[in-house]
Amino acid sequence: MSPRTAAISNLYAIVVAAVAWSGLMLQYWLILWSGTIGHATVRYFSFFTILSNLLVALVATAAATGGSWAPLRVWRKPRVRGLAALCIAVTCLIYATILAGQWHPQGPQLIADRIVHYVVPFLYLFWWVALLPHGTLVWRDALRWLLFPVVFLAWTLLRGAVVHEYPYPFVDADRLGYATVLINAIVVALVFVVLGLGLVAVDRVIARYTNA
């Protein structure tokens, strides 16, 4: 990557981080009205949308701040950046195809909704494709990245069994039953794997043409 491209990438990372953190803070402020601070905070972090946007925000912030502090270097690793790209892409895809028609936010909630589900995914994926270095991802990364949604599913079912509240209708075990939720989870896992393989393929193609 040339110094000019690196400088543009870092400036763009500031934009991505600013938008992601703004959307996250707005959504947190809105969810605080749903109950006590403790309950609202746990509920807030129980949405995959929030976790994927938080991942993007951390990755972009680490790129924007620079420096060699070890915790920042972790968020600059290609696999972590790829995981963020995958998670935010799945967030956008599932929301647009399944969830968007099931509720109609208004006012500040509509703004937060558009930021975390559409604006952040577009900004980050553009940054990942056009302005970040490529060529280090491997095919098995698509399977490694599955750990993130698997842990999320485990937390969702465990929390749901206790409080009987689920972040998304297709994982509502109280209403659907665990067998149906498992089938839904397998379908979503396949989406993760297919998109993950697609990201690895894009990474390799970009690297081939860049280094040619």
Residue pLDDT, tens place only, 86-119: 999 999 999 999 999 888 899 999 999 999 999 9
End-to-end CA distance of the chain, in Å?
A: 13
Report the amino acid identity of residue 202: V
Please tell me the distance from the alpha carbon of residue 128 to that of residue 122, in angstroms, as a whole number.
Answer: 10
Q: Quick one: pLDDT band at residue 2, thresholds 50, 70, 90?
A: confident
Separation of alpha carbons 179 and 111, rounded Å: 36
Handedness of CA 142, 144, 150, 155 (dihedral sign): negative
**Would you say residue 212 has pLDDT above 70?**
no
Residue 178, pLDDT score = 97
Give the pLDDT confidence score for residue 66 in this predicted structure.
76
pTM: 0.95
> What is the residue extent of each domain of the chain?
3-211
**147's tokens:** 């750990």
Q: In this structure, are residues 148 and 188 in contact, taking their beta carbons and an 8 Å threshold?
A: no
DSSP 116-147: IIIIHHHHHHHHHHHHS--S---TTHHHHTTH
**28 pLDDT higher than 90:** yes
